Amino acid sequence: MKGVVVKSTGSWYLVRDGEGKLHRARLRGKFKLKGMKVSNPLAVGDRVEFDVETTGEDTAVIHKIEDRENYIIRKSTHKAEHAHIIAANLDQALLIATLVSPRTSFGFIDRFLVTAEAYGIPTVIVYNKTDLYDEDMQEYQRQIAYLYERIGYKVLGVSAHANEGIDTLKELLHGKTTLFSGHSGVGKSTLINLIVPDLDLKTSEISDFSDKGVHTTTFAEMFEIDPETFIIDTPGIKELGIVDIPKQELGHFFPEMRERLNQCRFNNCSHFNEPGCAVVDAVRKNEIALTRYESYLSMLQGEDNRK
């Protein structure tokens, strides 16, 4: 039988077959993914082949993982030198961000965008909690939107609390498999509750102590909105380490740098301190945003990624 992994709890998986029936399944033996050191061989969104066991317990065994079209990956927080696949076979990703409670940094946004670019996943940046903005913050939000829209990313402002922008969000999701990602506390689960009210996802208040979100989604899970539309809710991410992107290729995943790469004096230009660098020149002319260039340098130098 063939199906799609809709939930992963570590050793057991929930697989939906072609008729929509759910099966509790486990992997047969140890799966090694060629050339990849990952903490999870299977991810939500993976297409698999499985057999239902005849033990009478209504369980199944997964014996094949089909090739992935794409995936979102991060450094594992539990295993050194390993990566963790967040989700696979996506049509798009929504990065839920906030200007306040908690604030999402440019560094985090840019790391997510680079990872998505590397695996060919279109991404929309969704700023939630716009109901908390004063006039200055509204203007700042417009500046951020311009910064990203001029390099090809769609930016939306929504408010789960005030139910603003939710219809636009629904239109964006229709007919696609979409990953919802972001820091804890940015309101992913609250937004999903509004989009699909009968799911009633567990949501939690922001911790006043640290102004960081409290993890409410423990495992990634795929939900069906209608037969053609699926969303994947993921645990809140504190940090997003870049995986398997060679330093000399990093600039390829910044659209505004990519279009200038053949204009540098040297083919192997790292866009740091080489003479005749078209990227550095564009930063000086404000054609490339300084925040984006700082994010690039931070990734290039392997600095702490929580900033």
Report the binding-site residues for GTP: 128-131, 182-190
Contact between 102 and 186 (Cβ < 8 Å)? yes
Contact between 38 and 82 (Cβ < 8 Å)? yes
d(Cα 225, Cα 95) in Å, to the nearest integer?
A: 19
Type and span of the H or E element at 278: helix 278-284
Sign of CA dihedral 17, 235, 200, 202: positive
User: Which residues, 6+ apart, have CB-to-CB distance to 159 below 8 Å?
Assistant: 128, 129, 130, 131, 165
| Residue 219 DSSP label | S
User: Which residues, 6+ apart, have CB-to-CB distance to 68 below 8 Å?
Assistant: 46, 88, 89
Strand partners, 178: 92, 231
Sign of CA dihedral 261, 265, 267, 268: negative
User: Which residues, 6+ apart, have CB-to-CB distance to 248 below 8 Å?
Assistant: 268, 270
Binding positions: 128-131, 182-190, 264, 269, 271, 277
Binding positions for Zn(2+): 264, 269, 271, 277
